[in-house]
Structure 1
Amino acid sequence: MQALELLTTRSSMPRLIEPGPNPEQFEIMQKAAARAPDHMALMPYQFVVFQGDRRQHLGRIFQTAAQAKGLSDEACVQANQLPLRAPMVIACLLDYQVHEKVPRDEQFASAACATLLMQQAAFAQGLGAIWRTGWFAEDASVATALGAKSEDAIVGFLYVGTPAVPTPIKPEKAIADKFSDG
């Protein structure tokens, strides 16, 4: 896929099947993440990868959080099954580091850019991916179970696999009114 096409047609792929990225594809995704804007080269992110049977561990984390929130039994079972919707799920975390020149928001932005670059690298290799958040990304118990410190945050969960159907390309958005002269 050409770079401009990749950038101007990006659409998430919610229906993912096996296979997930092979080791070479995943290495390219990692290299792309390392190219995110990163003031002072802090690399303020951490990625926890769940694939194969390890996805069940993430499902238990989600289910435990759903139970603690008092959700219905059905919702708790559904939470347990969420990571099985793709062959690979990457929990993308802000790994905040106190630094006088790099505020937390900037570090979060860097972690978000790293996540997007992994998604774009997946697309460029013919894989599908979707960046999910939802309340699990805001839940402190989920963050703790993923190894996050209290000052860290979950940026999102990147689900990666083979598209089950052709990726639906969303229509272009009218964006011109979001730009103005300074």
Structure 2
Amino acid sequence: MTAPDPVASTPLTARPEVLDFLATRRSRPAKTLTAPAPDRAALTPLLAMALRVPDHGKLEPWRLIVLERGALDRLARLAGQRAEAAGLAPDQAAKGIAQFADSPLCVAVVSVPRDTAKVPEWEQVLSAGAAAAALCNAAQAAGWGACWLTGWPAYERGFLAEGLALAEGERIAGFVHIGTETSLPPDRPRPDPETAIDWRAA
């Protein structure tokens, strides 16, 4: 018999501190993140929190690839090779390379849609996106800086196949970079609820 989940069995109560975090959270730009990053012991519970996302049908249509220093250096070199082969503009190539060369730690969130008529593929893809967002929130709640990026390496199939061994049909939902923030960035303009929300009573 499986032990009950202590979180799931706890009655819901208001958590003002959580609401305050959600109301004020913002991503930390990747260029402001540096070492140290969480070690495996510190990162593992954050990854587990990221996977507690809506997952219709319990399909687990995602997987996580943790990219540590050696892997990041290898991917930076590969990004340079792929950018040169594709003839990318120097500034575009540099961004793709720096995403891995300068990152203290990165988690690739991979969308892995399952072949089933039970759950639409779109809902499975959304679940992978939710995992990326949840990982950013978990990392920041633990005191780390974090941001969710994609960029051209997330869509270049040669890079994904050679660098991350992604199978056909697998896609990158996001590269989540985690580390120590070096500066507090100013907040960016936020959507206006008056124009972004449509209330309908009937």
TM-score (norm 1): 0.89
Q: 8 Å contact 1:28–1:121 — kept in the other structure?
A: no
Unmatched segments (≥5 aa) in structure 2: 1-15
Match of 1:155, SS state, is: strand
Give the greater-gyration-radius structure (CA): 2
1:122 shift after superposition: 0.5
Q: Are the counterparts in 1 of residues 96 and 151 from structure 2 also a CA contact under 8 Å?
A: no
Offset of residue 125 of structure 1:
0.8
1:55 counterpart = 2:72: yes
Question: Which residue, out of 163, 169, 173, partners 1:151?
Answer: 169
Change (3 A) 1:158 1:26: same
Task: Name the SS for the 1:53 alignment partner.
Answer: helix
Query: Match for 1:49: what amino acid?
Result: V
CA distance in 1, matches of 2:78, 2:121: 26
2:7 equivalent in structure 1: none
The code of the aligned residue for 1:8 comes to A
SS in 1 for 2:67: strand
Aligned counterparts of 2:194 and 2:93: Cα–Cα separation in 1: 43
Moved over 6 A (4+): none
Q: Residue 57 of structure 2 corresponds to which residue in structure 1?
A: 40
Match of 1:162 among 152, 172, 180: 180
Aligned residues: 182
Q: 1:4 aligns with which of 19, 23, 45?
A: 19
Q: Indicate the structure whose relative CO is greater, using CA pairs within 8 Å and at least 6 residues apart.
A: 1
8 Å CA contact 1:50–1:58 kept in 2: the answer is no
Structure 1 Cα separation of the partners of residues 91 and 127 of structure 2: 36
User: How far did 1:77 drift?
Assistant: 5.9
The secondary structure found in structure 1 opposite 2:176 is: strand
Structure 1: distance between partners of 2:119 and 2:20: 33
Question: Percent same amino acid at aligned positions?
Answer: 29
Length-normalised TM-score, structure 2:
0.81
Distance 1:63 1:121 in 2: 31
Q: Secondary structure in 2 aligned to 1:161?
A: strand
SS of match in other structure, 2:186: coil
